[in-house]
Chain A
Amino acid sequence: MSNVAINIAAEFTGKKAFKEAETATAKLTKTVKTLAGSLGIAFGAAAITRYGKAAVKAFAEDEAAAIRLTRAVENLGIGFANPAIADYISELEKSAAVADDVLRPAFQSLLTTTGSLTQSQKLLNDAITISRASGIDLATVSQDLAKGYVGITKGLVKYNTGLTKAEIQSKSFSEILGILLTQSAGAASDYLDSTAYSMDVLSIATGNASEIIGKGLVDAFARIGGGTEASDAAIAIEGIAGALAKITIATGTAIGGVTNVFKTLKNLPKNIFQGFAGAQTGVNLGKTPTPTPQLSSTEKQRNAALAKLEADAAARAKKLAALQKASTKAQQDSLKLAKAKAVFDLQKIQIEAALKGKISEEDKIRLKLMQAIEEENLTNVEKYQKALEKAQEKTKELTELLATVKTLELKDPFGMWKIDPLTASINELTKSMFSVGTQIQANGREWSSFANSVATTVIRPNLSEWSSSFGAAGAAASAATTAATAAALKAQQDALTAQTTAASAALQAQSAAQLEALKARLAAEAAAYKELMEATAAAAEAALITGANDYTTANLAKIASEAAAQAAAAAAALAAAEQAAGSAAVTGGSNVNITVNTGIGDPNAIAEEIQKIIEEATQRGTVDFLGIA
């Protein structure tokens, strides 16, 4: 359900925080009560059974975790350190208010990774501090630190160190850890002053009590069940609970008695149930003394083993650091190489050169994209890819639009117009005028080209000849001759110009005359057309009024005569056809009579004669004609 509302009238009824505090206190009280009176008067047989099972389970899980840690320590060759580790975990549980079932796996993961007791303890303490500061559970933090120790720093990104992914990869684990611890400084001690710490302490105490009770129950009830395993204990618990229930139903007062016993025993040490349950069932459930494992190695040997372990761990750490350093250096070198390569990268050079050329916008985007891909610049790659897609879409749209435009055939919009004869004549006249104008222009051009050719081919060579014939000595004579020649040429040019002008005038006059003639022709044609139109109209009118009947009669007569002629022709054709059909009947449709000349009454002779005829016909090839297959 949403919380969208218009609140018109509201009343303050108290801060929720106070209520939360009250609820927390109530919960705390309940927890304490649960711990204290877990097997008290308030619980029936079913509750006892449930609690017993839960306690047994808690103990079993805790024991399994402890065994795993013990085995891991033994595998490192320092099995003698197990009691010390157990003490350390126990102390840490109390001081940091972190349950031992959380501490053990965390410590185990750190110990197996680092191979060093001191490093593991230090890292576990650091993990608790970081966990308190970041709010991330201790198991995750210790896993991340263990991975970070061997160079897998990916998990450390989530702690908001302010370092980039690349920076985290390039920094050593100790550097990152230093940053993390700087950020988390004081978090663990602050936590110790908080209410949550008190709650956790109580919760841990409850959990431990459950585990302790569970252990007692397992030991006691397993013996009642006839074995030593937790499964035997569970059977026994159910059996006893069932018995208690029966007692409750049967006597009514038994509950008081039994629960009073529980109440009295609730704060007793963990082995209370052994005695109680044993006494009830007549089995001696006193704690069987288990032999304390005797450490085979001497103090000196232990110290030596520990020193060796630490030395090995330090060597490994050194090796890891060196490896990481080498890896970082390799990465840096590779980056440097890539940068150096970029300077001589032909592909990049070509792209850069292409970009400087005159190219279309789309090509420019393509080149920029190629450049970004070469440089492995993701931001630019995305940017130009989008731009290119957009440009391609636009091009596609344009192509589609052009295709649509092409399909529309652009026809002459005036093509369908009908031109009347008068307009057609005018158009023709205009064409003639244009042709006359063109002719005049052509003549003018012809004269001009003629004059130019005369000047180029005749006058200039002559002038050159004159110039070459006369040297500096005869310059004056030459000048005179040149002047005379120039005068002569001028006269010649003037004559030519006059001739051209005259020809042009004549042509213009001719054109004008042609134009006038065309105009007259046009007027005449227009008049003729008008007359024709009038005559046509009159004739049509007359034909409509008077000539229709005559025309019809004449046509009818004509049609009748034509029909008669056709009938005669048809009759003649029919006769000819009949004649043809008759002859065809004589040749193709009659029977063949064959005369057999033989004596009468001799069937053999008749048969032989017929056979002979057939054979002859076969030889001639006319047997089909006889109808014999």
Chain B
Amino acid sequence: MPTEVVGAVALRKALNQYAPDLAKELTKELGGVLKPIVNEARSFVPLTSPMSGWTKRETSRGARFPKYDSKEIRAGIIYKTTPSKPNKAGFVNAVRIQNKSMIGAIYETAGRKNGQGQNWVGTQAGGASKGVSRSVNPYAGNQFISNLGQLYGSNRKGDHRMMGRLIFRAWDKTQGKANAAVFKSIENTTAKFNRRTAIVDVRRAA
């Protein structure tokens, strides 16, 4: 779960406007922390498809299931230090690591919700529910998830949102050190900026 901060967006704006050198320095420092994690996450991407028949397919309704492409997955793993758009809850994310590609997201998160795959109802079942497997193979979901391998990351109180196979695995390996390093960089830059912009009482100084 992200750590909530106050003034991160304002700091970023202020840095860009009044201290571009500090803005660059902060970006560089954050990059120094996040880049190795991104590289490690990319290294977890299997070169070949974990399923022999993982090809692109399209349903009759136009929904697409992408083909496995390790290049695309690696290219989609990035870090960002610029504030995002606000999410539904009203939070803006200032620093984040993303797995952007659709195929990467599938590889990253498959099996989070149902470790054994979705409940199988078969091809003949009625309804339009998306939470069930309509494959001809009753064990398709299970086979798919078991072929992708283990999920890494914390699983606190059944919350699987911090579990994954690429970025979450790499992040989990840092054991919180990267998180601390990010905030230390932000705090340092804030302190520098505050020092630089401190109003000097001219009369008292005189």
Contact A9 B94 (CB under 8 A): yes
Task: Specify which chain A residues have a CB less than 8 angstroms from the CB of B5 in the assembled complex.
Answer: 9-11
Interface digits, B57-99 against A, CB 8 Å rule (1 contact, 0 not)?
0000000000000000000100000010011111111111111
Q: Shortest Cβ distance from A585 into chain B, in angstroms?
A: 88
Contact B96 A14 (CB under 8 A): no
Contact B179 A11 (CB under 8 A): no
Among candidates B92, B96, B99, B108, residue contacting A13 with C-beta atoms closer than 8 Å: B92
Which residues from chain A sit less than 8 Å from chain B, CB to CB?
Answer: 1-16, 382
Task: Specify which chain A residues have a CB less than 8 angstroms from the CB of B90 in the assembled complex.
Answer: 12-16
Q: Which of A1, A3, A6, A16 has the most CB of B within 10 A?
A: A6
Q: Shortest Cβ distance from B174 into chain A, in angstroms?
A: 11
Among candidates B8, B87, B102, B168, residue contacting A9 with C-beta atoms closer than 8 Å: B8
Q: Is the interface of B mostly helix, strand, loop or mixed?
A: mixed
Task: Specify which chain A residues have a CB less than 8 angstroms from the CB of B88 in the assembled complex.
Answer: 16
Known: A6-B171, A10-B94. A1 touches B4 (CB 8 A): no
A–B complex contacts, Cβ < 8 Å, 22 sampled: A2-B99, A2-B100, A2-B104, A4-B164, A5-B97, A5-B99, A6-B96, A6-B98, A7-B96, A8-B96, A9-B5, A9-B93, A9-B186, A10-B2, A10-B91, A10-B94, A12-B92, A13-B9, A13-B91, A15-B90, A16-B86, A16-B88
Task: Specify which chain B residues have a CB less than 8 angstroms from the CB of A5 in the assembled complex.
Answer: 93, 96-99, 167
Q: Does B6 contact A (CB under 8 A)?
A: yes
**What range describes how many residues of B lie at the interface?**
35 or more
Q: Does B133 contact A (CB under 8 A)?
A: no
Which residues from chain B sit less than 8 Å from chain A, CB to CB?
Answer: 1-9, 76, 83, 86-102, 104-105, 108-109, 122, 162, 164, 167-168, 171, 179, 182-183, 186
Contact B101 A11 (CB under 8 A): no
Known: A2-B101, A2-B102. A10 touches B171 (CB 8 A): no
Contact B6 A11 (CB under 8 A): yes
Task: Name the residue on A nearest B179 (C-beta).
Answer: A8
Contact B94 A11 (CB under 8 A): yes
Among candidates B6, B86, B95, residue contacting A8 with C-beta atoms closer than 8 Å: B95
Task: Tell me, in angstroms, the Cα distance from A13 to B9 when the chains sit together.
Answer: 9
Task: Tell me, in angstroms, the Cα distance from A357 to B6 when the chains sit together.
Answer: 79
Contact B98 A4 (CB under 8 A): yes
Known: A4-B108, A4-B109. A9 touches B9 (CB 8 A): no
Q: Shortest Cβ distance from A332 into chain B, in angstroms?
A: 24
Contact B183 A9 (CB under 8 A): yes
Task: Specify which chain A residues have a CB less than 8 angstroms from the CB of B4 in the assembled complex.
Answer: 10-12
Task: Tell me, in angstroms, the Cα distance from A6 to B93 when the chains sit together.
Answer: 9
Contact A11 B7 (CB under 8 A): yes
Task: Specify which chain B residues have a CB less than 8 angstroms from the CB of A9 in the assembled complex.
Answer: 2-3, 5, 8, 93-95, 182-183, 186
Task: For the complex of A and B, list the 7 residue pairs with the smallest distance between their C-beta atoms, beginning with the closest.
Answer: A2-B105, A7-B2, A10-B2, A4-B99, A7-B93, A5-B98, A8-B95
